[in-house]
Amino acid sequence: MRRILVMALLFVPLLWATWGWQTIAPDSDRSLVRIDSLTENVPDADRAALGPFELQRLWRLTSSNRRFGGYSALVLMPSGQFLAASDRNSWLRFPPPIEAGTQALPTGQRLVRRSRNGQQEHFDVESLVRDPADGALWVGLENDPRVARIDKHGRRASLYMVQALRDWPENGAAEAMARLPDGRWIMLCETCGGGRGGLHLGLVFAGHPGASAPQKFGIVLPSGFDPVDMVTLPDGRLLILTRAFNLFPPRFASGIVIADIAQLNPKRPLATQELARIEGAAMRENYEGMAIHPEAGGQMAVWLISDANASALQETRLMHLRLNLAKLPQR
């Protein structure tokens, strides 16, 4: 009897998700997404671990649409909306601010589209960067030595071979990618170098990836943490989102570090400084996407999105942080 009761309790939320509200038809360009606020559950100790970042809001997002979830990249578009892309090549758009409730949000089945021999190629999206020079969207791919460029109208995708990525592990790829203010591009490998002593490998390009031979370099992150996304700050430094996974007990931890790319020297690893740690029970998840946009008063909004890996034990979470740029360490 007790076992039946436990199973019934487990299935009640699933029944609500299935019958409590309906998803718009799969061939539509919108999906119903339920948004629950988790901000009030975050204790002061977890907030204090964020360092110069101040927690604004934390949400859980759920949808019964099969396209939803798995988000591993995030970018702010000219429309003011965020674009999140998944490891299944699907996408979600949403405008800030986010409010609790149920919203019909734009979704799509394929961000990068290309037909080969009459079949649609599969792409696992890991990073997104918008080029301010021409509005094009650059896409880093898992298990693929190419990067994709989508024109600003979203009508055409071109693929560019990056020969150096052939030497990276299949699950390394362009996990984190950013454009620097001087027009250079940078990539970080998630698994290259084995993370021994925090060492990871990166590539820096004089221009667009695939258009010039990259320069290899090393970068040191907190031990046990891998890079999963990065963005460029107004002063040219990099914010890098990192992630660690502990097997016993199974749980994720995330961090945000800063790196001064002006100190890049191929002869020695680039140093980083950790700014924040996200590992308290109320906040932790598998955060893989990060995007920023300026706010009034010299502050910066930092948004994180998590990849739930289609697991019943994980959630799609969206976090809004506020960074006071004056509180960053001096260069």
Q: Which residue in 196, 218, 328, 201 sits closest to 273, CA to CA?
A: 328
Q: What pTM does this model have?
A: 0.89
Query: Using an 8 Å Cβ cutoff, are 137 and 129 in contact?
Result: yes
More confident: 194 or 185: 185
> What is the Cα 115 distance to its own chain's centre?
26
Tens digits of residue pLDDT in 227-245: 999 999 999 999 999 999 9
Tens digits of residue pLDDT in 156-191: 889 999 999 999 987 777 899 999 999 999 999 998
- The C-alpha atoms of residue 217 and residue 190 are separated, in whole angstroms, by 14
As a whole number of Å, the end-to-end CA separation of the chain is: 64
Q: How confident is the model at residue 118 (pLDDT cuts 50, 70, 90)?
A: low
- The C-alpha atoms of residue 30 and residue 183 are separated, in whole angstroms, by 35
Length of the chain, please? 331
